Amino acid sequence: MFKWLKSHLSWADFILILVVIIAIIISGVLVVKKEDERDVYIYKNNQLIGVYPIQEDRVIRIDEHNTVEIKDSKVKMLYADCPNHNCVRQGAGDILPIICLPNKVVVEIHSKNAKRPLIVQ
């Protein structure tokens, strides 16, 4: 097998493959490192209710209408008394925001240094 590779690949090919493998490893390390630096921001009526680290499992009762769960570095709306329950059916995630329009609740996940890009009124 190695003789076949030697006969069909040049040194430039080996170097290119090595560079690609190193780039994949570095990208993986950076993605894992970024996930540890993310927080969950919870807003009610466009007011910040709290900021919670995504790596700590907990259940947060926002008010009598909404409850959020952080588990396994993912966030989901555990309970909402809105009519359509779209926010609850969205399930757990670690990228997209969770928005409960009838109750005016927004749950965002972003890095500790990021500015708030989404405003719901």
Predicted TM-score of the model (pTM): 0.66
pLDDT tens for each residue of the chain, 121 residues long: 667 666 777 888 889 999 999 999 998 887 766 555 789 999 999 999 999 999 899 999 999 999 999 999 899 999 999 999 999 999 999 889 999 999 999 999 987 766 655 555 5
Q: Which residue has the tokens 């926010």?
A: 87
Q: Are residues 108 and 87 in contact, defined by beta-carbon separation less than 8 angstroms?
A: no
Main-chain phi, psi angles of 4, to 5 degrees:
-65, -45
